[in-house]
Amino acid sequence: MLDVNTPLSKDSRNFLENLRLYLIANGKNTDEIEEIVEELGVHLLEAEGNDKSVEHIVGSSPKEYMEQISAEMPVDVKGSLKYLVMILFGAASYLVMDKALNGGIEFSFLELIGYPLAGLLSIVVYLISFRYLASHTLSMVRQSVLLFTLGIISIALFASVIILSGIYGTPFVKLENTGNVVAVIAAISIFIFLSIWSKTWIPIIIPLLLFGPSLLMDNTDYQESVKLVLSSLITMLGILLYCGITLKKSKSV
């Protein structure tokens, strides 16, 4: 991977980051992506040493240039499917954990169909938007509006599954005690597997921060409302702390 601390100009770094995002959103092979990003980085570095601008390298339209590169790289179907399956499995494990800790695992038929569908739709919407974001120069405001809308869309998709299932759904799968324990162990194993596979702590830390505090609070004698506020506070602070530590680490490398 290209060193983030190479003395490349901001324009060049932006272009390389956008190219990487564009190619990922187009389902290209990650090794091949890193290869071309690195090669272009070397070129840009040398070009900047000779006072050439990014435009001199990529032409007047970065979008067209990204398309040209993308067109020469085959879509990595197997690799993309792997990511898709991992994301869906990860999301399913969150749901299972959440249900198991809040009164037991119970899914209606609508939920069983609806959640994967909402997940897939969200991924498609995100990929299309990332392609757009990477190949267009947008102001900070527009970028934030787009990302915010994206968040709302996926939340709305999942919320409608929850609401519809509340109205029309009848329990289709309902697990008893042993079933719940087995499902939770499976979910935890998936988190650990995802963490090893992605070589990051995120798949373990996020569920720990989301579910840990309320579990802890359940063992205290505080009032319900106090429990709720405290556990959400710990979750939020934990996530902020984790982001801070990661940011500091990536800067000091």
Partner 1 sequence: MSSTQMLKGILEGCLLAIMKEGEVYGYELAEKLNRYGFESLSEGTIYPLLIRMQKEKLVLTTLRKSTAGPNRKYYSLSEKGEKELNLFIERWNRLSVNVNQIVKNKGGV
| Chain residues that interact with partner 1, rule: CB under 8 A | 2-3, 6, 35-36, 38-43, 45-47, 52, 55-60, 65, 68-69, 71-74
Half-sphere exposure of 18 toward its Cβ, with a 13 Å CA cutoff? 22
| Separation between Cα atoms, residue 113 and residue 63, nearest integer Å | 37
Instruction: DSSP letter for 72, please.
Output: H
Quick one: 42 or 247, whose CB is closer to partner 1? 42
Angle of helix 77-101 versus helix 109-135 axis, rounded to 10 = 130
Least Å distance, CB 26 to partner 1, is 14
Of the candidates 189, 191, 162, the residue with the CA atom closest to the CA atom of residue 91? 191
Of the candidates 89, 92, 153, 165, the residue with the CA atom closest to the CA atom of residue 125? 153
| Separation between Cα atoms, residue 221 and residue 223, nearest integer Å | 7
What six digits make up the tokens of 247? 């940011």
Quick one: 72 or 221, whose CB is closer to partner 1? 72
Quick one: 18 or 93, whose CB is closer to partner 1? 18
* CB of 71 closer than 8 Å to CB of 161: no
Least Å distance, CB 44 to partner 1, is 9
Quick one: 57 or 86, whose CB is closer to partner 1? 57
Least Å distance, CB 186 to partner 1, is 41
Least Å distance, CB 72 to partner 1, is 4
| Separation between Cα atoms, residue 119 and residue 82, nearest integer Å | 15
Quick one: 61 or 160, whose CB is closer to partner 1? 61
Least Å distance, CB 41 to partner 1, is 7
